[in-house]
Structure 1
Amino acid sequence: MIRIQGIFIVLLFSMTAWSQKGSWIEKQIYPMQADGVWSVDGLENVYIAQFGLINKFDSTGKLKFSQSIKSLGSMTQLVPINTMKLIHFSEEQQTLCYLDNTLSPLDDCIDLTEEGIVNAVMVSESNQPNKIWVLDNLNSRLLLLPLDNVYQTQELVNLRGVLDLNQVTQFVERNNQVVLLDATKGVYIFDLYGSLLDYFPEKNVLAVDANEQMLFLLRADGLYIRSFASGETLRVDVPVTGVIDFAYRNHFFFFRTEKAVHKFALQFSE
């Protein structure tokens, strides 16, 4: 059997990759509610926030920590910026609040309105230390915000003015590139200075992720794995129904449904 790290070889040398079928092996299930918030870090720790609590599970599914977050306001996203620190983002409060790796609150929250960002709707981690990406919806700007010196904020691109994007649903930084999904137009890839490197006019994409070699696209009809080098695309059926989001970490896929997060490994026959 060939694990997911072998997919790149499959894509390069198989001309029938589109129809090739993989097999999924379920590793863990993390129950959650439909209105819960989830995330996963680089060590495969899974975070689930619901009922005013955050729970942290390790890579084996064991509950490690639990913490009340009611005092921080309504949570929109929970973003691991490294294995030692998390960001609690509240769109309602327009704040970024720190949590340590035991989920204990750290320092004061950052009020984004004091930094000239009045309508932040989405954030994402950066590979650069102590920085976070912020989507300012009012001005349609994608900003890289230093958490230790907010006066050095960098604007990546004016999304509406330059690309006429109006429905950004996700963006992630991977391998010093920003992968951005617009639900109506497709997937854009930028360098960290805002130059457009690639564009895929992929419609009806629910979520994206990437690594150095591959772009992962979740659609209603399956998971599409595209090789950056060859351009070939592999489609595989997702292992559970009702998937609305996913993440890829360390050769594992985490699929979010309304009732749980499922951790799977993907294998292919030789």
Structure 2
Amino acid sequence: MLRNFSHVLAIALSMGITHAGHAATQAVSLQQHVDLSASIEHGLDLSSFDTSAGGVWLPIRHAPTPGNENLFDESSPKEGGWKGLAGLLEALTPNIDTSAPLTSSQITDRISTMLDHGQNHEALNIIERRQAQLNEQGSIGTDVQLLFLRGRALSALGRHNEAISTYLNMTTLYPELPEPWNNLASEYVKQGKLDMAVDALTMALKAAPNYATAQANLGEVQLMLAQRSFAEAARLGARNAAARASETSSVLKH
């Protein structure tokens, strides 16, 4: 049910069918997630996803069993395309040993660290090289961690429409992952599309009702919507609306 509904919603969001509203009145950023560890550590079962349209779960294993708690294929990549990727990793992170191909998680961990340190262009270059390596190996589908990191890199580089497309793609392929929904909402807020952000955060909480980050972000967006409504009411002459708009604005600034 979540998969079907999220697919329809993702299409609607990508087409702008949901009311976007006016530009945000507050320069407030939502908290983005930087990895998928929360979902992975809880053993999210991605094995039931339909791969008939080309497949999207190459690096994904079935839900973990005792003694096998990693969803991602930890085997080292084949040699195809490794030299170009290894050269980049070695140049950007000299302390890493690239004499032998790294595992998928080692590569994505390295990319995540680069993004954490603001090496956004370099990280995106590595991401593209890694995907090219997978393509050269004849791999079908996309590494879900790699796709998520691509969204982060694009957002950090200010390429927000491309980041939105990346996260929308993830919400269609992996609707049970709450983190892409959360980061999608963050991108919408940057564009002042508050109603669309609410929809995305609602889907994040449907996927993971105890997802604290999405719950907090939803509160922030609801405050932004309240501030915008009070400001509009003040413009229309409603008594005390301007004061309430100012109060809400003060809350958002803290």
TM surpasses 0.5: no
| Higher RCO (CA 8 Å, separation ≥ 6 residues) | 2
- Between structures 1 and 2, the one with greater strand share: 1
Between structures 1 and 2, the one with greater helix share: 2
